[in-house]
Copies of this chain bind each other. A is one copy, B any other.
Amino acid sequence: MATLKYSRQRESIREFVMNSREHPTADTVYAGIKAEFPNISLGTVYRNLSLLVDLGEIAKITTGDGPDRFDCNTKPHSHFICTQCHNITDIEASEFDCMKEKVAEGFDGKITGHMTTFYGICKECLEAKKIKKTS
């Protein structure tokens, strides 16, 4: 049931996320395709992002502070989230890719995914702070 039909809006949303290196929020995606679809609604953006996540074409990142972000990289990797500017940086920590399998050994449930997030202050914010202090 529920065969997928083509939609120009969904294609645009997918393209936008695929070409983003910034881990956009739903709102950022919305603003980004507003030029192409002046009448598009936030609801449509949310519906399609959620659908693309279900299809496994993009990934959702829950930040714990502010709106969810979306990631064109669906391969297992970690994130660094700056608690000041909220920018997200990818961290390729390949040594942790085996985590799921490692933890799954002797675990009674079924593990389907895992996500590691590092929190802190990014280089830019560290420098901005320093400048502020001396002025």
By a beta-carbon cutoff of 8 Å, the part of chain A in contact with chain B is: 60, 62-65, 68, 78, 80, 82-83, 89, 91, 93, 95-96, 99-100, 102-103, 107-123, 125-126
B96 touches A112 (CB 8 A): no
Interface pair B83/A112, CB less than 8 Å apart: yes
Asked if A126 and B99 make an inter-chain contact with CB atoms under 8 angstroms apart, the answer reads no
Task: Determine which of B62, B110, B123 lies in contact with A62 in the assembled complex, contact meaning CB atoms within 8 Å.
Answer: B62
Q: Is the CB of B113 within 8 A of A126?
A: no
Residue A113 contacts which of B63, B100, B119, B123 (CB distance < 8 angstroms)?
B119
A117 partner residues in chain B, CB cutoff 8 A: 114-116
Contact between B109 and A82 (Cβ–Cβ < 8 Å)?
yes
Question: Is the pair B99, A116 in contact by a Cβ cutoff of 8 Å?
Answer: yes
A4 to chain B, nearest CB (A): 23
A63 and B62 CA atoms in complex are apart in Å by 8
A-B contact pairs, 17 of them (CB 8 A): A62-B65, A64-B68, A80-B103, A80-B111, A89-B109, A93-B99, A93-B102, A93-B103, A96-B99, A108-B123, A109-B120, A109-B122, A109-B125, A111-B120, A112-B120, A114-B116, A116-B116
